[in-house]
Structure 1
Amino acid sequence: MTTERPARRSAKTSLLLALTAAAAFGGFAATWVRETLQTPALAASAPVAAPMVAALPNAVDGQAMPSLAPMLKKVTPAVVSVHTKQRVRVNTPFGDDPMFRRIFGIPEERISESLGSGVIVDAQRGLVLTNHHVIEGADDVSITLSDGRTLQAEFVGSDPDTDVALMRIPAERLAAVTLADSDRLLVGDFVVAVGNPFGVGQTVTSGIVSAVGRSGLPGLGFQNFIQTDASINPGNSGGALVNLRGELVGINTASFNPRGSMAGNIGLGFAIPSDLARSVMEQLLANNGVVRRGALGIDSQTVDARIAQGLGLSEARGAVVTRVYPGSSAAAAGLREGDVILGANGQRIDNSDALRNFQGLQPVNTRVSLEVRRDGKPLTIAATLREQPREIAGAGLDPRLTGATFAELPESLRRQNVTGVLVDDVARGSRAARNGLRKGDVILAGSIGDFGDLGGFRANFANPPSELVLRVWRNGQQGNLLMQ
């Protein structure tokens, strides 16, 4: 036993020395790594480009401490709170009887109020961008600036299908954000979201760009979203998404959360790219508050495995042309039924929804280059998009529809797999009204033949049927109406 103790003591001593040396080396290594990571900006001998924003302090209490404060000092005065009021009719079980309203104290209408955000993009003209859904249906819109001033806003125009709206306020001592080229935005770029969620005042959240060119979200319109993990909360809609230079790269529009706000932020926020917002704004200013869109003038269908096999394609991808309307952009360019569109202006087209989305984001007279497969062979076709009518009077289609006005379906409905045309208005006492059509009806089908949009609906009346029956969707229910 006595001969083993010195050996054990020697082994313990060796282990203790080894651990002490390792700890000392670890401390040295940690110090070296920390100093190495902190010192290159100070020690670099190569010339460094001058920063594009105010200089940040090198250190605070000996620690490197970058800050977004100088950039935000420039941006936040241009981010505003949008306050809307809407008069809403109050329905009662007693109808509009004024006696019952007086007895039970039921008003004829109430004022519905909501809050959102907006961004001043032109200080000289007092132009403010926000989301269409922020001001939709509002009877009164006021803007509160970061300095506390509240100003009445003038509605310039809006585009429901891209969710962009434009307002104007008095141009007095305003600050504006510069619009960046959002096409240069890359996945991984840092971005900052500024808005007025919940009406508590301006808030700032930061994150990175998770994706660009995002589309296919349910229930929204034409899509080309920037996806970010910066928190976009209720009330942030219409606010600014900026880069670290303080330039506007997007308009915050939505967050995706199947469980609603109770689940908190899950890192799926979406913003309209500044390039798209700029294009819509310029159209609203030039076209009396409306957007004029170009279209090819075709019907198309997604290429599935069966269609791909029938057309001799190597993969089930693209949009096959099923109809070319006379006098359309597609007809002038030489597109034919059976052509498969795989790309447009370098953008991949995987299905008919992608093709429709691409067209919906293009202004009138846009030149597009289409990547096509015809009889299995590659082909490039150049086309200039033409404007499609926004609405059509029923009297010009068929006397039995006199008094009704038809329009394209909102893209939000199309995202819910609804196809057809919208009954935009019906004149009281008109023939269409007597036949049972109502404003807000959706015409899904009819005895005139198949159609998917307003162009197809109009084209099918080239040879009106002797008996005109329309399949109508109203308040979630479907039924047939005989037009007499």
Structure 2
Amino acid sequence: MKRIGLIALAAFIGGAAAIGGYKLLEPKNDGLLSFADQQKVIFANNPKISSAGAVDFVEAAAAVSPAVVHIKTSYTGGGESATRGRQSSPMDMFEDFFGGGGRRMQRAPRAASGSGVILTPDGYIVTNNHVVDNADKIEVILSDRRKVSAKVIGKDPNTDLALIKVEATDLPVVKMGNSDNVQIGEWVLAVGFPLDLQTTVTAGIVSAKARNIGILARDQQQPSQEDFEEYQRTGKMPARAANTSIESYIQTDAAINPGNSGGALVNANGELIGINAAIASQTGTNVGYGFAIPVNLAKKILDDFRKFGTVKRGYIGVTFSALDADVAEKLNIQDNSGLYVNEVLPGSGAAAAGIQKGDIIKKVEGNIIYDSPDLQEKIGRLSPGDKVQLTYLRNGQMKDAQVTLKGEGATVQPNAVAKVNKGASIEKLGASFAPASAELKGKYGVRSGVVVTGVQQGKIFDSLEISKGLLVTAVNGRPVNSAKDVEAALPQSRNGMTTISGINEEGKFTYSF
């Protein structure tokens, strides 16, 4: 009996220690732990859902669906927010990009809807920026059909992510996964509220990773209704920032439709691997491909929202061109993979680490770089002051450099601004321009534009394969109607990046360099 008593006493002490340890580690304040760390506590004792290799998503769908919410927004004014809600879905902005007509400006009260994913039991919800941007009122319909008001904690057009908060407790939560482990061909589920239907689950496979479809860059450069109204009042179009978007989407053939924006893309274990954001369609509805923001990128952005209300983004401080056989031939180099450094910004982390123009970035943190999204997503997860190891090729030799990222506005020293701006010139572009005719602008439904009348061999336009006859509508976000407008807009670049926007028979385009 004495032995049994000792065993019981030891078991009691062990259990008390375990409970005490949990309470000690339990977060007292949401701001003390990252979303990922907070979820580790929530799911520490939960059994892992396993698909066991079978094509059966019953358990995954049951685990995720209660934590995917319906978001409804309303807009009392006109302008771009009303435009996006014109067909009861903010996904219309993607219809405009992929085919379905230009924007039709309206000035009437509108409503829109999308989806969101609950991250914490106390009501933090991730969704897309375009779902809640400019909304006057945001309502969230929970799985138990309660309707609660939400406030925006933070939003970022550069990644199309937003964090909202509702006042509620004991909410179901979706477990965050690891998007780095996602493999092409892997089964995935898309969960959301498409076409104003109730919770809908669709299945497909991962078709590709690190996809850049140019939609965020396009939307950043597209003048809004407010821009045109200011132009009418003042005769001047507001300057718009150069492209700083980060696109590295997970591409899937799971059916995603208007209303899925902000919903969950999960693996067969029911783990969140992406936030659904866009569709590739000529009609505005699903015809085969959807795109989701990787959750590993979202984690950093969302943590910043909760801590600071905005994103603290770090920059390497280089401009680059993604290499392929054609670009390599034009640059007269042998390598056709990696990122060719066009310019190193003075005062940047790259400059301090010894990176030079002409270097070819091959790896970041040991991971091979094939295209710009491979680098941009990984840097997008980091903050100013973080260090990142780059492997680059110079004169046939591989070298390593540790770069300390700097914040926005710190990449160029004040005495270097003139030097950077001076480099952005029509001469550097190697192009000549003439005002676009009213007929040509009418054909494409644009209000500004110049036609490229000449391209010099070996200059920037030539390397980008921008040919004569192309209609350029904006430079660095500023509408252009003459060569003088182009010349005036070129120095307005941000962080040394120059952005050329235009339109042709295939649709709208944006070049950044």
TM-score by length of 1: 0.62
Q: 2:494 corresponds to which residue?
A: 454
- Please say if residues 299 and 452 of structure 1, whose CA atoms lie closer than 8 Å, have aligned partners that are also in contact: no
- After superposition, the Cα gap between the structure-2 partners of 1:444 and 1:79, relative to the gap in structure 1 and judged at 3 Å, is farther
Task: Give, in angstroms, the shift of residue 234 of structure 1.
Answer: 1.0
Q: Answer 1 or 2: higher relative contact order, Cα 8 Å, separation at least 6.
A: 2
Task: Give, in angstroms, the shift of residue 138 of structure 1.
Answer: 0.7
Amino acid of the structure 1 residue aligned with 2:281 = N
Q: How does 1:431-442 map to 2 (within 5 A)?
A: none
Out of 353-362 and 339-348, give the one that drifted further.
353-362
Task: Give, in angstroms, the shift of residue 258 of structure 1.
Answer: 2.9
Match of 1:133, SS state, is: helix
Amino acid of the structure 1 residue aligned with 2:65 = T
Task: Give, in angstroms, the shift of residue 226 of structure 1.
Answer: 1.7
Amino acid of the structure 1 residue aligned with 2:250 = I
Amino acid of the structure 1 residue aligned with 2:211 = S
Amino acid of the structure 1 residue aligned with 2:192 = G
- After superposition, the Cα gap between the structure-2 partners of 1:337 and 1:164, relative to the gap in structure 1 and judged at 3 Å, is same
Q: Which has the larger radius of gyration?
A: 1
Q: Matched residues in 2 for 1:182 and 1:354: separation?
A: 13
- After superposition, the Cα gap between the structure-2 partners of 1:209 and 1:447, relative to the gap in structure 1 and judged at 3 Å, is closer
Amino acid of the structure 1 residue aligned with 2:48 = M
Q: 1:461 corresponds to which residue?
A: none
Q: Matched residues in 2 for 1:385 and 1:90: separation?
A: 37
Q: How does 1:72-471 map to 2 (within 5 A)?
A: 72-89=61-78, 110-124=108-122, 126-211=123-208, 213-220=209-216, 221-261=245-285, 265-288=286-309, 290-302=310-322, 308=328, 313-350=333-370, 359-389=379-409, 421-422=476-477, 445-446=486-487, 453-456=493-496
TM-score by length of 2: 0.59
Q: Deviations over 1:160-190 (max 9, x none)?
A: 1111110000123411111112222222322
- After superposition, the Cα gap between the structure-2 partners of 1:473 and 1:239, relative to the gap in structure 1 and judged at 3 Å, is closer
Task: Give, in angstroms, the shift of residue 356 of structure 1.
Answer: 5.3
Task: Give, in angstroms, the shift of residue 249 of structure 1.
Answer: 1.6
Q: Matched residues in 2 for 1:227 and 1:361: separation?
A: 20
Task: Give, in angstroms, the shift of residue 355 of structure 1.
Answer: 5.0
- Please say if residues 387 and 404 of structure 2, whose CA atoms lie closer than 8 Å, have aligned partners that are also in contact: yes
Gaps of 5+ in 1: 1-49, 57-64, 92-107, 399-415, 424-436, 459-470, 477-484
Q: Deviations over 1:186-223 (max 9, x none)?
A: 22322211111111211111122222x32221323412
- After superposition, the Cα gap between the structure-2 partners of 1:149 and 1:296, relative to the gap in structure 1 and judged at 3 Å, is same
- Please say if residues 197 and 203 of structure 1, whose CA atoms lie closer than 8 Å, have aligned partners that are also in contact: yes
- After superposition, the Cα gap between the structure-2 partners of 1:370 and 1:111, relative to the gap in structure 1 and judged at 3 Å, is same
Q: Matched residues in 2 for 1:379 and 1:244: separation?
A: 40
Match of 1:248, SS state, is: strand
Q: Matched residues in 2 for 1:188 and 1:352: separation?
A: 22
User: Percent same amino acid among aligned pairs?
Assistant: 34
- After superposition, the Cα gap between the structure-2 partners of 1:130 and 1:418, relative to the gap in structure 1 and judged at 3 Å, is farther
Q: 1:428 corresponds to which residue?
A: none
Q: How many residues align?
A: 348
- After superposition, the Cα gap between the structure-2 partners of 1:446 and 1:391, relative to the gap in structure 1 and judged at 3 Å, is farther
Gaps of 5+ in 2: 1-45, 81-105, 217-244, 419-470, 505-513
Amino acid of the structure 2 residue aligned with 1:268 = Y
Match of 1:217, SS state, is: coil
- After superposition, the Cα gap between the structure-2 partners of 1:319 and 1:240, relative to the gap in structure 1 and judged at 3 Å, is closer
Match of 2:119, SS state, is: strand
- Please say if residues 297 and 329 of structure 1, whose CA atoms lie closer than 8 Å, have aligned partners that are also in contact: yes
- After superposition, the Cα gap between the structure-2 partners of 1:472 and 1:324, relative to the gap in structure 1 and judged at 3 Å, is closer
Amino acid of the structure 2 residue aligned with 1:344 = V
